[in-house]
Structure 1
Amino acid sequence: MAERRLCGAAPVFDDEFDSPSLSAWTLGAAHWITHTPWGGDFGDARFTDPGPGSAFSARDGVLSITARKDAQGHWTSGLLASADRDGHGFTTLYGYFETRVKLPPGPGTWPGIWLNESTPPNWMRPTVEVDTIEYYGQFTDAFHSTVHVWPGHSSEPHGGATQLTSVPAHSLVDGFHTYGTLVTPRWISFYLDHKEFWRTPTPPQHRLPFMFLVNLALGSGWSIDRTPNPTAMQVDYVRAYRPADPEAFARCLAAGAPPGAPR
């Protein structure tokens, strides 16, 4: 994987989707499961298992996650999670997480690229979720990034921080872009095409390793009456790095790190 080094670091997790490796609920030898490990699927489209008729297809190293409506008017779509309910799979406490994605067109689409802590059984403390990008398809000129501190079974209130980032209208659906998040003990930094657009302190509640999630959901309170049928989110790659010196890695990105090596 040396050709995919970024700022001197080689990826510790790298899926180029030349041959997608998917399972429904338990990883086994697969790279991804296609539901949230905690069974909390969401949105107005049912997330499918892999296989014939599923939301997932690949061509020329690009994975398409397609939302479509069947003859009965029921929507299906897809989600990827890099760890299962037993904690098997890829997780890391700190690191740089990056995807190269072309977002789906159309109102009602609700794609997300995010991190969620992998919790052991009977975990009672708060958990942290990091949404690198949360995009609402009817608003083509901006996206949300959020750090959530969920109380779980504790008495702590919900906390965190959020950022709204403006972009040229339709730019995120017209072409591929890289979306990155660098998590360090001090900061969580967010990047679009390797340019930092937001930084916020790492919550002290962050104690568990993050899994990687990518999904195309629908709705989130917005109408899906005008959502195109079908509509697809295209994922070129998903990579995670664990740099030995996160501060030096961040300085390298800020200096204009080039995209990954040519395929």
Structure 2
Amino acid sequence: MFVIFIASVPVLPYPVPTAALAQETIDPTSFELVFNDDFDGLDVTAWGPGSRWIAHTPWNGDFGDARFVDPGPDFPFTTRDGILRIEARKGANGKWQSGLLASTDGKGDGFKQKYGYFEMRARFPAGEGVWPAFWLASRGEEKAIEVDVVEHYGHFPGRYTASLHIWDRKAPALSKSFHERVPVDAGALSTDFHSYGVAIDASRIRYFFDRREIWSIETPRELAHPFTILIDLGLGAGWPIENTPDPSVMEVDFVRVWSLPPD
């Protein structure tokens, strides 16, 4: 049953306060499943083509204080019992390395979708400096839309951040960002698995934690291209990493995408 499109949630041209959405839930099991990775194995190459995932952003841009490296036999990705492990650790040179997965390659080949319900179930590492994320990227010649379903900064174990960014690639000063800090029980994101989801249609973007809606914002009119899925274990994000546990591991149970039913 699809229960979030109801009269009690008005369509407004600004973010809806979290408290107003506290009782709205989503059950995607009756939707059409169009992408599913349960990580019984991992189909990844450095740059493609032909693999389900590549190990870099399609636009070849790293970020944070760990370098995202090509996949090796046991680092930075391993799978066991249907769980993907993304590991961050220091190399022999003292530099941090970690892993990122993207669902399209540099030519745009792979899985991408504009509207739908996107979800990841994962457990995050604990500790200062860790920066795990599940996000979507839609890139055009002039505008890029980024939907951060979850970014967790290890310095703040009692919350995570959901965001929307409208990047102006030709005039960066005109870019816009919107954020929602989502409170959780301190340490809950590293002690157990939780699901992080986002439902995107032509009018609104709705964010979910354990399939309960926690934020809503109008879909930007600049959204014109389908989204690539990205998962990564970054480090830093402006916070110091001298106390970051070595190694740190992000565990992912699944990534799934459904098509939404007609409104």
Q: TM-score, normalised by structure 1?
A: 0.87
Q: Letter of the 1:13 partner, please give it.
A: F
CA contact (8 A) 1:126 1:156 kept: no
**Pair 1:15 & 2:32 matched:** no
Determine the C-alpha separation between the residues in 1 that align with 2:77 and 2:206.
30
Determine the C-alpha separation between the residues in 1 that align with 2:167 and 2:237.
18
**What is the aligned partner in structure 1 of residue 15 from structure 2?**
none
Q: Letter of the 1:8 partner, please give it.
A: S
**Pair 1:27 & 2:42 matched:** no
Runs of 4+ in 1 over 2 A off after TM superposition: none
Q: Letter of the 1:59 partner, please give it.
A: R
Which of these residues, 153, 160, 163, is aligned with residue 146 of structure 1? 163
**What is the aligned partner in structure 1 of residue 11 from structure 2?**
none
Determine the C-alpha separation between the residues in 1 that align with 2:250 and 2:172.
38
Which of these residues, 89, 100, 118, is aligned with residue 68 of structure 1? 89
Which of these residues, 213, 234, 238, is aligned with residue 230 of structure 2? 213
Please, which moves more after superposition, 90-99 or 51-60? Answer: 51-60
CA contact (8 A) 2:135 2:230 kept: yes
**What is the aligned partner in structure 1 of residue 112 from structure 2?**
91
Q: Report deviation, 1:19.
A: 1.1
**What is the aligned partner in structure 2 of residue 6 from structure 1?**
28
Q: Report deviation, 1:201.
A: 0.3
Q: Report deviation, 1:162.
A: 1.1
Aligned counterparts, 1:1-263, within 5 A? 6-28=28-50, 30-119=51-140, 123=141, 125-154=142-171, 157-245=174-262, 247=263
Structure 1: stretches of 5+ with no match in the other structure: 248-263
RMSD in angstroms over aligned alpha carbons?
1.4
214 and 155 in structure 1: CA distance in 2 versus 1, 3 angstrom threshold: closer
Number of aligned residues: 237
What percentage of aligned pairs have identical amino acids? 42
Determine the C-alpha separation between the residues in 1 that align with 2:194 and 2:174.
35
Q: TM-score, normalised by structure 2?
A: 0.87
SS of the aligned residue for 1:88 comes to coil
CA contact (8 A) 2:54 2:102 kept: yes
168 and 39 in structure 1: CA distance in 2 versus 1, 3 angstrom threshold: same
SS of the aligned residue for 1:85 comes to coil
Q: Report deviation, 1:156.
A: 7.2
Determine the C-alpha separation between the residues in 2 that align with 1:224 and 1:211.
28
CA contact (8 A) 1:83 1:118 kept: no
Determine the C-alpha separation between the residues in 1 that align with 2:152 and 2:180.
12
47 and 155 in structure 1: CA distance in 2 versus 1, 3 angstrom threshold: closer
SS of the aligned residue for 2:225 comes to coil
226 and 190 in structure 1: CA distance in 2 versus 1, 3 angstrom threshold: same
**What is the aligned partner in structure 2 of residue 261 from structure 1?**
none
SS of the aligned residue for 1:241 comes to strand
CA contact (8 A) 1:94 1:183 kept: yes
Q: Report deviation, 1:118.
A: 4.4
Structure 2: stretches of 5+ with no match in the other structure: 1-26
Q: Letter of the 1:56 partner, please give it.
A: F
Q: Report deviation, 1:51.
A: 1.9
